[in-house]
Structure 1
Amino acid sequence: MSHTPHELADDFPEHTARIHDLRETDAHFRKLSDAYHDANRAVHRAETNVEPIDSQYETELRKQRMRIKDEIATILNKTQAMG
């Protein structure tokens, strides 16, 4: 298990500029990326015991982060195909 935060720019380095553009122009994408960031930070804080939480809750946070990341990936792939 890695205790390194999973930042969107690190997970999607080929889409860094697109992520920035979508955050500026698409309210839904901005909301998703903010939700991803919040879930990601909560998982990272739990992994590093900065804010220890119940393991079941940590698992739920990880699943939430993955669902959001999947939705972001879908948007990035669609917008790349369009552009």
Structure 2
Amino acid sequence: MFPEFRDLISRLKTDDDHFARLFHRHNELDQQIKNMEAGIVPANGMAIEQLKKEKLQLKDSLYQILRKAESV
């Protein structure tokens, strides 16, 4: 996710607790979705779609933080 911000992401995960929590939650959702889609964890399509929406919202928030931090 966001390879162009790799160094900034590493720094923010250490320096910004809010960013670190969002990033961690995004990764948790990503793994949950993969497990559901692979059939490892039982789920219906609605549950998967809801998690994907939450993940996308987090990704948008992370991107906004990265853009703001980049301009500082």
Normalising by structure 1, we get a TM-score of 0.82
Instruction: Provide the aligned length of Structure 1 versus Structure 2.
Output: 72
RMSD over equivalenced CA pairs, Å: 0.8
Q: d(CA) in 1 for partners of 2:25 and 2:13? A: 12
Of residues 60, 63, 66 in structure 2, which corresponds to 1:76?
66
Of residues 24, 43, 50 in structure 2, which corresponds to 1:53?
43
Q: d(CA) in 1 for partners of 2:8 and 2:34? A: 25
Gaps of 5+ in 1: 1-10
Alignment match, 2:13? 23
1:17-54 alpha-carbon deviations (Å, 9 max, x no partner): 11110000000001000110111111111122221311
- Alignment map for 1:33-48 (pairs within 5 Å): 33-48=23-38
Bigger relative contact order, structure 1 or 2, given CA contacts below 8 A and separation 6+?
A: 2
Of residues 48, 56, 60 in structure 2, which corresponds to 1:66?
56
Q: d(CA) in 2 for partners of 1:53 and 1:59? A: 10
Q: d(CA) in 1 for partners of 2:10 and 2:21? A: 13
Gaps of 5+ in 2: none
User: Which stretch shifts more, 49-58 or 66-75?
Assistant: 49-58
Structure 1 runs (4+) greater than 3 angstroms displaced: none
Overall identity of the aligned pairs, in %? 25
